[in-house]
A and B are shown apart, each in its own frame.
Chain A
Amino acid sequence: MDLAYDAQYAAFREEVRAFAEAHRHLAPKRTGHRPTSEQIVWQKLLIAHGYAARTIPAAYGGFGAAPDILKSRIIAEVFAEYSLPGGLANQGISMLVPTLLELGTEEQKQAFIAPTLQGEMVWCQGYSEPGAGSDLASLKTRADDDGENFIINGQKIWTSTAHAADMIFCLVRTEPDAPKHQGISYLTFSMKSPGIEVRPLKTMTGGAEFNEVFFTDVKVPKTQIVGARGQGWFVANATLKHERGMLGDPNAALSRLKAIIDLMKTEQLDGHRVMDNPLYLDRLMQLQARVMSMQFNGMRILTSALKGEAPGMAGLIVKLQGCELNHQLAALAIDVMGELGVLYHGSPHERDGGVWQHRYMFDLGLIIGGGTAQIQKNIISERGLDMPREPKLAPVSARA
């Protein structure tokens, strides 16, 4: 154990702080699904300094630094310290770009990576279907080969940003007769293609964070496949691992905890600070211990990564524990506000723009999405504890 940073990293931290001091006035507000011009300016500034797209080769529009997990962490910590938005973290950047770098053709890399990094090309992810959620590999959206093109027919759901996206990376079934994991291909195509219909899916938050996407005879040139035909499941798994890393991030829990501490110091009931209520305080302290544990667990995972070792159980539990913790934090914030906690939709006396109710509802979706809590428990018990898979039952149709 040695938690000190050596001189090189201490100097790097100062360099990032100096950037933050000098440029904080340019920080854009977080907005909806498409980056604003302010966000694009900010993103380009971050890339130029190596605070976004840090390790992506300069030839594809990145900063081109060698991977250094510690530096990436310092950047994230300093940006959190100054409450500055980091680089764009949409699905194109977090999931498609790493996939293209790993498995894309040179042409695909040239065409897509730079505009995606700069926020000018926005992507959505076409994975889940109404009949293929936890069992994603059973997806049915068809891609028929007409010689030159694939002809896509079917439906996707939970497609965030689809209404605002330029492009989609999409899993389709190209080999209907192959075993289910071996008949899938990974395609990229324009959301402006004829035959695509996007319907917003209104959720309990009142917003429409997701969409349904319908494909009717959508033509996609066969060159727009990533990886080999029939290998899409394995291409997608390369990206899912990036998504699971994003969910349950302990830095998000830490900044929420700080916000609740402020809330409990300022909100008053009968003239007393909420912080002075021992029951709320006890819950706050229980959650603080959990936030600390996940933060230190994150440092342990980081050390494993630096050594090139697999993080094992410490990594397998992050999505399950982190998402639940964020949800519990939102619940505490609502509870300490009492009746004020239910105010929403811009009501008089609403606190923090109703963000805690929004998070409480939206985070329930995160507990479910990206592999449900139950799927996470299967993964933990099977991969982490080496317990057997539940035996398969005969298909529903074969049972009496």
Chain B
Amino acid sequence: MEFALTHDQIQMQESLDRTLERVAPLDRIRAVADQPTPLAPDIAAAVAELGAPAVLVPEAYGGLGLGVLDAALLAEVLGRHAAPVPYIGPVLAGLALSLSGSESQKLAWLPGIASGKTVLGLALSEFASGARMDAGVSASQGMLNGKALFALDAATADAFIVADRAGGLHLVTANATGLTQTALTSIDRTRSIAELTFKDTPSEPVDQGDVANTLIRMRDAGRVLLAADTLGAAQRMIDRAVAYAKERQQFGRVIGSYQAVKHMCAEMAAELEPCRALIWYAGYAQDALPDEASLTAAHAKAHLSEIGRFVARTSTEVFGGIGITDLLGLHYLFKRIGLNRQLLGAPERLRREAAVMQGFIDA
């Protein structure tokens, strides 16, 4: 029994952290966020160099063959830096292909995902969050029709993995005929989301093995990664608030010596620290404890959404007025946490799903 990260896992986090410290400082993040779409090929290349998009890809296809916990630990560091790079899209699309792709699909796409040369976006929102407005994709005779909202990592995607209304998965290239991509502008300018419309768009089915199970594993892994991204962003916000409180002086003292301020910081730390154990457990469960995978993923995502929101607003308050300006760039973390909360199932939906999974209520 050992509930701790391995030396390798800690090193992997530290090296990504150091790299992002170097290639993604605040002024670089600001420059990327000010563009119409968050394109940062230099940062994406540096992250890929360290193997981030390769994390779940099997070694036989050029990947690292690691688990969802490892992917979550990387997501945590990306969140910590509000890194403007595709991650959830390629990682989950790669998982879809690894679990349910044909051999030729794996050979065609997985090595590129692993090296970062190929980016895959992901249209899973209707399956994981429910359908808004008239969204939904239908598949018939190799053609897709309909609309997918909130497709992840869309801006630089070479292809998409798309979930249809009937529980099928499809691979569509970004330049396929009849596919229109409309960027959606969110509060978070470090990640791209889009609306995809399909009109008789040719696609390949991703249909090997138990596709229903593949969809669930993608959804659950995605929830753990988003929760981990929030953990990283929230921890950074606490670190910055505490550091500021030790420097900023008012009434002749550093504000961090007032209990009113100290207690805000203590409450944030007390709320966030157990979340770390929840993420570790949920990440581990995805590969090692299949019976607990969906429940812990739903709870991790829901709980981190709530605690993330609390930390985002409270840490901003510690800074006083300067906290809500653009000067310190705290808002990139604040908005990162805000986007994570809504994606792949908002907390109220997740808690209801968690109750259904345990048989407390009917679906």
A→B interface (CB under 8 Å): 1-5, 9, 70, 261, 264-265, 275-276, 278, 281-282, 284-286, 288-290, 292-294, 296-297, 299-300, 302-304, 306-307, 313-314, 317, 320-321, 374, 376-378, 380-382, 384-391
State in angstroms the CA–CA spacing of A302 and B6 once bound together: 16
Given known contacts A300-B3, A387-B256, A313 and B284 CB-to-CB distance under 8 angstroms: no
Q: Judge whether A292 and B278 touch: CB under 8 Å.
A: yes
Contacts of A320 in B (CB 8 A): 266, 270
Contacts of A265 in B (CB 8 A): 360
Q: Is B281 an interface residue, CB under 8 A from the partner?
A: yes
Given known contacts A282-B352, A388-B257, A389-B257, A378 and B262 CB-to-CB distance under 8 angstroms: yes
Q: How far is the CB of B308 from chain A (nearest CB, A)?
A: 13
B→A interface (CB under 8 Å): 1-6, 69, 242, 245-246, 253-254, 256-259, 262-263, 265-267, 269-271, 273-278, 280-281, 284, 288-289, 296, 299-300, 302-303, 306, 348, 351-352, 354-355, 360-361
Q: Judge whether A313 and B273 touch: CB under 8 Å.
A: yes
Q: How would you classify the secondary structure of chain A's contact residues: helix, strand, loop or mixed?
A: helix
State in angstroms the CA–CA spacing of A377 and B81 once bound together: 28
Q: Judge whether B360 and A261 touch: CB under 8 Å.
A: yes
Q: Judge whether B277 and A293 touch: CB under 8 Å.
A: yes
Q: How would you classify the secondary structure of chain B's contact residues: helix, strand, loop or mixed?
A: helix
In order of increasing CB-CB distance, the 5 nearest A-B pairs are: A285-B351, A296-B277, A293-B274, A377-B266, A289-B303
Pick the residue among A3, A303, A377, A391 that contacts B253 (CB under 8 A): A391
Q: Judge whether A288 and B354 touch: CB under 8 Å.
A: yes
Q: Which A residue's beta carbon lies closest to that of B238?
A: A385
Contacts of A264 in B (CB 8 A): 360
Given known contacts A286-B351, A377-B266, A314 and B277 CB-to-CB distance under 8 angstroms: yes
Q: Judge whether A290 and B303 touch: CB under 8 Å.
A: yes
Q: Judge whether B352 and A296 touch: CB under 8 Å.
A: no
Given known contacts A1-B69, A385-B266, A390 and B352 CB-to-CB distance under 8 angstroms: no
Given known contacts A290-B303, A296-B278, A300-B277, A3 and B3 CB-to-CB distance under 8 angstroms: yes
Q: Judge whether B351 and A381 touch: CB under 8 Å.
A: no
Q: Judge whether A293 and B278 touch: CB under 8 Å.
A: yes
A-B contact count (CB 8 A): 164
Q: Judge whether B1 and A4 touch: CB under 8 Å.
A: yes
Q: How far is the CB of B159 from chain A (nearest CB, A)?
A: 33
Q: Judge whether A297 and B2 touch: CB under 8 Å.
A: no
Given known contacts A293-B278, A314-B277, A377-B262, A286 and B253 CB-to-CB distance under 8 angstroms: no
Q: Judge whether B266 and A378 touch: CB under 8 Å.
A: yes
Give 17 A-B pairs besides A282-B351, A285-B299, A289-B351 with Cβ atoms closer than 8 angstroms: A3-B2, A281-B352, A282-B352, A289-B303, A292-B281, A293-B275, A293-B303, A300-B3, A300-B277, A304-B4, A376-B270, A377-B263, A377-B270, A378-B263, A381-B269, A384-B266, A391-B257
Contacts of A317 in B (CB 8 A): 269-270, 273-274
Q: How far is the CB of A274 from chain B (nearest CB, A)?
A: 11
Q: Which B residue's beta carbon lies closest to that of A294?
A: B274
- 6 A-B residue pairs with Cβ-Cβ distance under 8 Å, sorted by A, are A289-B300, A293-B303, A296-B281, A376-B266, A377-B262, A384-B266
Pick the residue among A1, A261, A384 that contacts B280 (CB under 8 A): A1
State in angstroms the CA–CA spacing of A389 and B83 once bound together: 35
Q: How far is the CB of B111 from chain A (nearest CB, A)?
A: 28
Given known contacts A377-B266, A385-B242, A388-B246, A284 and B278 CB-to-CB distance under 8 angstroms: no
Q: Judge whether A289 and B278 touch: CB under 8 Å.
A: yes
State in angstroms the CA–CA spacing of A4 and B257 once bound together: 44
Q: Judge whether A5 and B266 touch: CB under 8 Å.
A: no
Given known contacts A284-B355, A292-B281, A300-B3, A313 and B302 CB-to-CB distance under 8 angstroms: no
State in angstroms the CA–CA spacing of A56 and B2 once bound together: 26
Q: How far is the CB of B351 from chain A (nearest CB, A)?
A: 4
Contacts of B280 in A (CB 8 A): 1, 296, 300
